[in-house]
């Protein structure tokens, strides 16, 4: 009898642990699925949805430039998913992409020996990890981005940390993103503890909170405002935002990391951005990446 009770108690405990583990992603999954539904509904028929989703777009824009009938996987290429005029330029540039040199440079950096004889290949034996970051380190109880993991590899091997916005960092990340894309891997962000769930929630709060002298949030432009024009640019959407970094921006005339882009975006909101290696930035990117879970990694890529 005691043995039977012990077995029953063990099964209940295992079931409870399984349920609790699943609960850590429950809200994040609701958020992700709601976001997918929002954008699929918004772009199902832009002209018919003008009053609901596109109050500031012209009739010509809705009829002739904003693509309809989009599904969630389509959004991985940013505003080129719906911007018909932009798509033509995007596809033309992609025929001879300017980031190919960076991929080659990143491949060399990956294999290059440190002074102690180790290399990034020791820290990251499988380079097809672009979709796994940012990840929550359960030992340290904090979010680790790919950029911070690269710098930790450097410093743990007696090397100097790199800047987190461009240069060697962007080159190595371009190699990793491309390897991940060629392996046909997807974004795979995990939330496996209460601490990870809390980090996700803080990132979400940052994304949706109004700040700065414009009183704007990230969502003002990239959820509600997606496809609206600011000057001559169509605002991109949160869904798929992290799948294609690092990016070669024509404005930069070079490659930049996700941290670089987010720093500039937050500045545009009229506020001081969090530092690339700060807790705020890492948790913001953790939330954003989770929103693209299940989408194909498609970096590096091109943006205006």
SS3 of residue 230 by DSSP:
strand
Position with higher pLDDT, 14 vs 230: 230
Protein fold of 29-304: Cytochrome Bc1 Complex; Chain D, domain 2 (1.10.760)
pLDDT band for position 289 (cuts 50, 70, 90): very high
How would residue 225 be classed by pLDDT, with cut points 50, 70 and 90?
very high
Nearest to 105 by CA among 29, 15, 34, 170: 170
Instruction: Say whether the peptide bond before residue 235 is cis (omega within 30 degrees of 0).
Output: no
CA distance 238 to 39: 9
What mean pLDDT is predicted for residues 88-117?
Answer: 95
Residue 15 has pLDDT above 50, yes or no: no
Sign (positive or negative) of CA dihedral 211, 49, 35, 128 = negative
Kindly state the average pLDDT of the residues 151-180. Answer: 98
97-101, 132-136, 270-274 — which is least confidently predicted? 270-274
Cis peptide upstream of residue 246 (ω within 30 degrees of 0): yes
Could you confirm whether 17 is annotated as catalytic?
no
**Using DSSP, how many helices (H) and how many strands (E) does the chain show?**
13, 7
Please tell me whether residue 137 adopts helix, strand or coil conformation: strand
% of the chain beyond a pLDDT of 90:
79
- How would you classify residue 117: left for phi > 0, otherwise alpha for psi between -120 and 50, otherwise beta? left
Q: What is the mean pLDDT of residues 78-105?
A: 92
Q: Identify the active-site residue in 123, 153, 218, 265.
A: 265
Contact 86, 239 (CB under 8 A): no
Does residue 1 carry a pLDDT above 70? Answer: no
Task: For 231-266, write each residue's pLDDT tens digit.
Answer: 777 899 999 999 999 999 998 999 999 999 999 999
């Amino acid at each position: 009898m005691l043995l039977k009770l012990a077995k029953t108690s063990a099964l209940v405990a295992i079931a409870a642990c399984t349920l609790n583990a699943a609960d850590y992603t429950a809200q994040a999954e609701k958020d992700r699925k709601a976001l997918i539904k929002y954008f699929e509904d918004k772009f199902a028929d832009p002209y018919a949805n003008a009053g609901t989703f596109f109050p500031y777009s012209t009739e010509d824009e809705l009829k002739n430039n904003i693509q309809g009938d989009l599904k969630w996987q389509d959004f991985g290429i940013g505003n080129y998913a719906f911007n018909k005029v932009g798509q033509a330029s995007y596809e033309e540039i992609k025929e001879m992409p300017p980031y190919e040199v960076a991929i080659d440079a990143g491949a060399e950096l990956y294999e290059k020996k440190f002074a102690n004889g180790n290399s990034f290949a020791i820290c990251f034996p499988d380079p097809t990890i672009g979709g796994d970051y940012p990840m929550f380190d359960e030992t340290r109880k904090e979010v680790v981005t790919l950029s911070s993991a690269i710098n930790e590899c450097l410093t743990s091997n007696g090397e100097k940390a790199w800047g987190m916005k461009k240069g060697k960092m962007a080159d190595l990340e371009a190699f990793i993103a491309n390897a991940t894309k060629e392996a046909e891997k997807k974004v795979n962000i995990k939330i496996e503890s209460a601490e990870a769930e809390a980090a996700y929630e803080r990132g979400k709060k940052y994304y949706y909170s109004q700040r700065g002298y414009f009183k704007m949030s990230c969502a003002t432009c990239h959820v509600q405002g997606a496809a609206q024009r600011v000057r001559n640019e169509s605002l991109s959407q949160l869904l798929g935002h992290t799948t294609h970094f690092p990016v070669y921006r024509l404005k930069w005339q070079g490659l930049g990391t996700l941290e670089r882009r987010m720093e500039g975006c937050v500045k545009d909101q009229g506020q001081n951005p969090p530092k690339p290696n700060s807790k705020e930035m890492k948790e913001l990117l953790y939330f954003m990446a989770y929103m693209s879970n299940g989408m194909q990694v498609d970096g590096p890529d091109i943006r205006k």
